[in-house]
């Protein structure tokens, strides 16, 4: 509370927020009004009485975090960011959901100042918050409470709680006792199709208590500012478990036309409905985006108030940060200490590890050199190569742990990874089998949209998995991941390429998908010298030849297949260049000269990859791949039976060359 604030002014402020929630979507003819109106009192309390933040320093490391998991109510968050002084202007609210605006349809991290995570797909923000709480706990345990000591708040909806990802994330959060996590559940009993009772009869309070959460049931307190404040403060006092505040709200309140109306979940209000609602609130019915000076000053004052806490933190944390400057900077940047990659292993021609094993050697070498490293897996830490030997396991009893057992929770694991990355201060890594990346895809897509710096380690990358059969043998997965803009997909061919891939992941920005083999693969003859630069550029020549007749491209374990095929072709008088193309995305970033030096247009090209051939037409004239599901047998048998062999590559190369020769010999073509 400030000296400029009174109960009457607070009520006016809440009504102004509701007015903006009506006007923004109405002007855009698109959006969600009712939820934002119902949550206006809770937002007011949170931004004016609870959150520790400084609007003038939105990236202050020790700020409280806020997540609008019900991202469809984005006009509410934009209104609060404008009112409290984050840099949005009233004109930004007026251009809500329009081309080029700073107020897109759902909150986007990196697009709008003050947005911590990208939300909209329901349940993702819920799980992101768990990742943020893990990152906060990790930083606090490493640097001390004088450096890190804050909370993560979120508004969550019925839809968030219905999505399966919230069950996984809530279960893990309760298991870990993440006490800095405070969620408000907007229990409005409304879904798009009608009352939530059409499909939902869960006992939310009982469910979360069973997960080990602290639950506060406020009942009909959606407009009770003091009750909301007391609940937030009580929840923040609970250190040994996350908290859920359940509030019965009424969507679109105080509209005389649409309160508790399922239509208010979307764009329900006509101009006349808006005018009547504004009259009920005492706002001028014919004025859009009405924000009186005294209301703006109240919220701007709240936005400035955190400067004192920030300045106090800067003084309090300065000695620790100065004494550990390199570690702090590396942690905040999610990067390594100077020279961290000197410890990465080099593999010789005598070595033939699976790339998941090579990755494990790399992660082990990164311990200490990458201070924020958090590694884990979905019950597959050993299988994926994500162990941290000698480092503690994260648990309720050992909150400083760096190794995370996510359990069988792939959906939540992906979003938790994104939340930890978005929080900052850590370099999060997690793994499972590639075929289960399907469970994580929603989170992976949002990580790419947000450019969240994390690494998804997906092993068992092909039908080489073997006996587990087609349910566990990925076919379409690598190509489908390449379709995601902003995701760097790297499928290394051997141990040296794997080390180079980790160098890219740590030194770069944004999310990386590390695609690793179950089975061993030989060290390439030139990778020790060439992989460092070659992987960073997405592709390089492994085996060169003067004036080649054909270029064979491989990725992952199939580069070795390409090399064997080149030897067989040489015996047949056909000269082949072999190229490793571990990352399409990195290769696409190179200039035309480099791309031509690796894949010259004038030379026919054949690709080999143990997955779908769809998409390879961008680089190759023909592709050896698998356009069906796999089968249960040994990995080598399945590879052989499905044509991922040097012999088949030779046949395809010869067919391509024969077709070109016939074409060139035909004067009519």
Task: Classify residue 322: in a domain, yes or no.
Answer: no
Residues 506, 558 within the same domain = no
User: From the CB of residue 554, how many other CB atoms can be counted at a distance below 10 Å?
Assistant: 28
Task: Classify residue 326: in a domain, yes or no.
Answer: no
pLDDT at 3: 45
- Give every residue of the chain whose pLDDT is below 70, as ranges: 1-4, 667-669
Residues 411, 542 within the same domain = no
SS3 138: helix
For 201, counting Cβ atoms within 10 Å of its Cβ (0-12 exposed, 13-18 middle, 19+ buried), the class is exposed
User: From the CB of residue 662, how many other CB atoms can be counted at a distance below 10 Å?
Assistant: 10
Catalytic residues: 410
Residues 471, 577 within the same domain = no
Q: How far apart are CA 66 and CA 45, in angstroms?
A: 13
Task: Classify residue 191: in a domain, yes or no.
Answer: yes
pLDDT at 1: 40
CATH number at residue 393: 3.40.50.970
Task: Classify residue 527: in a domain, yes or no.
Answer: no
Residues 583, 495 within the same domain = no
pLDDT at 667: 63
Residues 58, 188 within the same domain = yes
Give the DSSP letter string of 342-370.
GGS----TT---BHHHHHHHHHHHHTTTS
pLDDT at 5: 87
Domain count, the chain: 3
* H-assigned helices in 451-476: none
Q: What is the pLDDT of residues 74-130, one digit of tens each?
A: 999 999 999 999 999 999 999 999 999 999 999 999 999 999 999 999 999 999 999
CATH number at residue 622: 3.40.50.920
Residues 393, 277 within the same domain = no
Residues 198, 260 within the same domain = yes
pLDDT at 669: 55
pLDDT at 662: 83
Considering 515, 550, 585, which residue would you say is the last residue of a domain?
A: 515
Residues sharing a CB contact under 8 Å with residue 179, sequence separation 6 or more, in sequence order: 238, 239, 240, 241, 242, 243
Task: Classify residue 543: in a domain, yes or no.
Answer: yes
Residues 146, 271 within the same domain = yes
Give the pair of three-digit tokens for residue 192: 């798009």
Task: Classify residue 169: in a domain, yes or no.
Answer: yes
pLDDT at 413: 98
Q: How far apart are CA 451 and CA 407, in angstroms?
A: 26
Q: What is the pLDDT of residues 555-587, one digit of tens each?
A: 999 999 999 999 999 999 999 999 999 999 999
Whether the pTM exceeds 0.85: the reply is yes
Residues 305, 174 within the same domain = yes
Residues 43, 190 within the same domain = yes
Task: Classify residue 569: in a domain, yes or no.
Answer: yes
Share of the chain above pLDDT 70, in %: 99
Residues 301, 389 within the same domain = no
Residues 289, 360 within the same domain = no
Buried b (16+ CB within 10 A) or exposed e, 600-629: eeeebbbbbbbbbbebbeebbbbbbbbeee
Considering 286, 309, 332, which residue would you say is the last residue of a domain?
A: 309
Domain extent for 658: 538-665
Question: What value does the CA radius of gyration of the chain take, rounded to a whole number of Å?
Answer: 28
User: From the CB of residue 484, how many other CB atoms can be counted at a distance below 10 Å?
Assistant: 18
Task: Classify residue 321: in a domain, yes or no.
Answer: no
Q: Which residues pair with 577 in a beta bridge?
A: 551
Considering 309, 324, 350, which residue would you say is the last residue of a domain?
A: 309
């Amino acid at each position: 509370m400030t000296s400029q604030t009174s109960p009457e002014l607070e009520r006016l402020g809440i009504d102004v927020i509701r007015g903006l929630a009506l006007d923004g979507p109405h002007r855009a003819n698109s959006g969600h009004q009712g939820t934002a109106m119902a949550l206006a009192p809770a937002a007011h309390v949170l931004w004016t009485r609870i959150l520790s933040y400084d609007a003038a320093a939105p990236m202050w490391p020790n700020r409280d975090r806020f997540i609008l998991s019900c991202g469809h109510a984005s006009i509410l968050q934009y209104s609060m960011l404008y009112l409290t002084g984050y840099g949005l202007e009233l004109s930004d609210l007026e251009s809500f959901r329009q081309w080029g605006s700073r107020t897109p349809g759902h909150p986007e991290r990196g697009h709008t100042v003050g947005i911590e995570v990208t939300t909209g797909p329901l349940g993702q923000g819920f799980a992101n918050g768990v990742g943020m709480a893990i990152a906060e706990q990790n930083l606090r345990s490493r640097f001390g409470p004088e450096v890190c000591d804050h909370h993560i708040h979120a508004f969550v909806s019925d839809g968030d709680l219905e999505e399966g990802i919230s069950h996984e994330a809530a279960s893990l959060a309760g298991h870990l006792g993440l006490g800095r996590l405070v969620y408000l559940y907007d229990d409005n009993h409304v879904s798009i199709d009608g009352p939530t009772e059409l499909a939902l009869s869960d006992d939310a309070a009982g469910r979360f208590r069973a997960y080990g959460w602290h639950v506060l049931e406020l009942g009909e307190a959606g407009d009770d500012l003091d009750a909301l404040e007391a609940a937030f403060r009580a929840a923040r006092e609970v250190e040994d478990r996350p908290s859920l505040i359940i509030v019965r709200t009424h969507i679109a309140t105080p509209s005389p036309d649409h309160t508790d109306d399922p239509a208010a979940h979307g764009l329900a209000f006509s101009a006349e409905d808006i005018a009547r609602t504004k009259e009920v609130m005492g706002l001028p019915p014919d004025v859009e985006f009405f924000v009186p000076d005294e209301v703006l000053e109240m919220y701007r004052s709240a936005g400035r108030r955190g400067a004192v806490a920030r300045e106090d933190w800067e003084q309090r944390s300065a000695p620790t940060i100065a004494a550990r400057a390199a570690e702090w900077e590396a942690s905040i940047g999610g990067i390594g200490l100077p020279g961290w990659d000197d410890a990465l292993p080099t593999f010789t021609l005598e070595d033939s590890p699976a790339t998941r094993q090579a990755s494990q050697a790399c992660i082990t070498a990164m311990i200490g050199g990458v201070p924020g490293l958090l590694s884990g897996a979905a019950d597959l830490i050993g299988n994926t190569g994500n162990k941290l030997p000698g480092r503690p396991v994260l648990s309720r009893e050992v909150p400083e742990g760096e190794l995370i057992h996510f359990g069988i929770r792939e959906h939540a694991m992906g979003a938790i990874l994104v939340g930890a990355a978005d929080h900052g201060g850590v370099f999060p890594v997690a793994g499972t089998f590639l075929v289960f990346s399907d469970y994580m895809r929603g989170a992976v897509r949002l990580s790419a949209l947000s450019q969240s710096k994390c690494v998804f380690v997906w092993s068992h990358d092909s039908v080489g998995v073997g006996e587990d059969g087609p349910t566990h043998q990925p076919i379409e997965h690598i190509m489908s991941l390449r379709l995601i803009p902003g995701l760097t997909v790297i499928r290394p061919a051997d141990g040296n390429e794997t080390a180079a891939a980790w160098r890219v992941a740590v030194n770069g920005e944004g999310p990386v998908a590390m695609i690793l083999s179950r089975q061993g693969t030989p060290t390439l003859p030139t990778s020790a010298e060439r992989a460092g630069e070659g992987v960073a550029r997405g592709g390089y020549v492994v085996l060169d030849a003067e004036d080649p007749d054909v270029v064979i491209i491989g990725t992952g374990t199939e580069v070795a297949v390409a090399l064997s095929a080149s030897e067989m072709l040489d015996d047949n008088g056909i000269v082949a260049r072999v190229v490793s193309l571990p990352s399409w995305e990195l290769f696409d970033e190179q200039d035309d000269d480099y791309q031509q030096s690796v894949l010259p247009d004038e030379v026919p090209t054949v690709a080999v990859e143990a997955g779908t051939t769809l998409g390879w037409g961008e680089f190759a004239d023909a592709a050896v791949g698998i356009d069906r599901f796999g089968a249960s047998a040994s990995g080598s048998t399945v590879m052989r039976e499905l044509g991922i062999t040097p012999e088949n590559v030779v046949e395809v190369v010869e067919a391509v060359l024969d077709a070109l020769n016939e074409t060139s010999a035909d004067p009519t073509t």
